[in-house]
Structure formats: structure tokens, C-alpha cells
Amino acid sequence: MIRTLLVAALLASSSAAVLAQGQSRSGTPEEQKACAKDVSRYCRAVMDQSDLVILSCLQQHRPKLSKACDGVLVSHGQ
């Protein structure tokens, strides 16, 4: 339960930071392209859900992500 709350707090704070930077939560077209294959490969089951659910899925598969997608997450403080 504590881990769930921690993840929720982390996701909420990262979304606030992205919004404060004036970007959509979905990222730029370049960022979306960098993660599209990873989302399709590892997060297909949640693709129709919110950006935060997809972000959580990507974080769960972090060791397997492409360098480009990992870079997008890092650039957003993830």
C-alpha cells in the first residue's frame, strides 16, 4: 500500500512538472515517437488508459526500454 501511494505521488508530481513547463502530459511528437514502440511492446494492455497509467507501465518495464524512451523519461524527471 505504501508503495502504491509513493508511485501515485511520484506520478502526480511529475505530471505537475510537465504541465508547469507548458507541455502536454503526452509529451511532444518526438517524445511520443521515441516511446511508441516501447508502449506498444510492453504496455499494449493499457494503451487506451490515461497517460499516468502508461507512464507507470513504462516505469515497471524500465530495464527493457529503448535508450530513446528511457531518455524521454529521464528528461521529465522520471
Secondary structure (DSSP) of the chain: -HHHHHHHHHHHHHHHHHHHTT--TT--HHHHHHHHHHHHHH-GGGTTS-HHHHHHHHHHTGGGS-HHHHHHHHHTT-
Report the pLDDT value the prediction gives residue 25, as an integer from 0 to 100. 56
- Give the tens place of pLDDT for each residue, 37-75: 999 999 999 999 999 999 999 999 999 999 999 999 999
Confidence of residue 6 (pLDDT cuts 50, 70, 90): very low
Report the pLDDT value the prediction gives residue 73, as an integer from 0 to 100. 95
Cell of 41: 511492446
Q: What would the mean pLDDT of 21-34 be, rounded to a whole number?
A: 74
Higher-pLDDT residue of 38, 4: 38
